[in-house]
Amino acid sequence: MRLCRFALDDDVALTGYFMDDHVVPLDQAIEAFTEAMDLELLILDTDDLIGLLPPSGRSHRAAWELSKWVEGLDEETLSELSVPLHEVRLLPPIERPGKILMLARNYPEHSVEVGDIAAERAETFPYVFLKPGTTVSGSGDPIVIPNISPDGIDWECELGVVIGQTCRGASEADALKYVAGYTVLNDVSDRGFRPNPGRKKRERDAFFDWMHGKWHDGFCPIGPCIRSADSLTDPQRLSLKLWVDDEEMQNSSTAQMIFPVAAIIAFISSFITLEPGDIIGTGTPGGTGKGRGRFLKPGEVVTAEIEGIGTLVNPVEAEE
């Protein structure tokens, strides 16, 4: 089951089943099911994807059953219920996550290309940092090149993990039980940010330059949907690709993660309470702009795709 948030001309946020090239609005699907089956289907929280997802969404079971009914419709009936993707504006699947927790250097090849060598998992721990809620944008929204630092804007395709149940101190064996679903995330990064370039140099400047470069508005596109965790049982077997215009930049698999999803959740929840709607970015593979010496420019289009989830598309624009 894949769920999305979207808007039509009136900009009212709606919920629907995501079908790659079309969306089936949830309210229309409920109405059609009720009429066809002569059976009332009670789905609460229709404006909240977490309420429709495992493990604790109040309407998860009903939303799952409705999705299976929709998938079984004949082509003509499905077409009548659907809205073509080009007629909707996709919204971030989670409008404002409580926390956006990101992993740095969780793929060996990316660690190498940014000047480090990945140590064995047993000898290290995940590097985790935060992005503010103002970085969130949806598929179709622009990546805006900031005037303050326009020359080092980079892409990072990542598997996003959406938490569905409060979690603290989870074991690695149980960690995936707390996941609502998975999405595509682009950890857009400003590699060249140098606040006050004429400054007095200090010991920690390089660290904070790196950190500040993660925080520009709109630098965390998420979407196009959330695939429910119960329909994607192994997050470590997914191909992951990214293109800038028609040029393939990243092509890897989540199987290459140093710390898999379960280990990440176990580590973070050992000292942070994870809550429904929190999102974890699991790191990016090689092929970033820093490794290629090539960064984003206005007019380009970034397309990030993860197998079985969907495609996240963002045009690049200059800040006005």
pLDDT of residue 121: 76
* C-alpha separations of 68 from 62, 71, 73, 129 in Å: 10, 5, 9, 38
What CATH number labels 2-91? 2.30.30
Q: Which residues, at least 6 apart from 229, have a Cβ–Cβ distance to it below 8 Å?
A: 53, 54, 55, 164, 176, 179, 180, 181, 182
CATH of domain 100-318: 3.90.850.10
Q: What is the pLDDT along the chain (320 residues), one digit of tens a residue?
A: 999 999 998 889 999 999 999 999 999 999 999 999 988 888 987 789 999 999 999 999 999 999 999 999 999 999 999 999 999 999 999 999 999 999 999 998 765 555 554 556 778 899 999 999 999 999 999 999 999 999 999 999 999 999 999 999 999 999 999 999 999 999 999 999 988 888 898 999 989 899 999 999 999 999 999 999 999 989 999 999 999 999 999 999 999 999 999 999 999 999 999 999 999 999 999 999 999 999 999 999 999 999 999 999 999 999 99
List the domain boundaries for the chain: 2-91, 100-318
215-247 exposure pattern, b = at least 16 Cβ within 10 A, e = fewer: bbebbbbbbbbbbbbeebeebeebebbbbbeee
Structural contact between residues 59 and 45, judged by C-beta atoms closer than 8 angstroms:
yes
Instruction: Say if 2-91 and 100-318 have the same CATH topology.
Output: no
pTM value?
A: 0.95
In this predicted structure, what is the pLDDT of residue 119? 58
- Cβ distance 131 to 275 under 8 Å? no
Q: For residues 254 and 290, give the distance between their C-alpha atoms in angstroms, rounded to a whole number.
A: 21
Q: What is the 3-state secondary structure (H, E, C) of the chain?
A: CEEEEEECCCCCCEEEEECCCEEEEHHHHHHHHHHHHCCCCCCCCCCCHHHHCCCCCCCHHHHHHHHHHHHCCCHHHHHHHCEEHHHCEEECCCCCCCCEEEEECCCHHHHHHCCCCCCCHHHCCCEEEEECHHHEECCCCCEEECCCCCCCEECCEEEEEEECCCECCCCCCCHHHHEEEEEEEECCEECCCCCCCCCCCCCCHHHHHHHHCCCCCCCEEEEEEEEEHHHCCCCCCCEEEEEECCEEEEEEEHHHCCCCHHHHHHHHHCCCCECCCCEEECCCCCCCHHHHCCCCCCCCEEEEEECCCEEEEEEEEECC
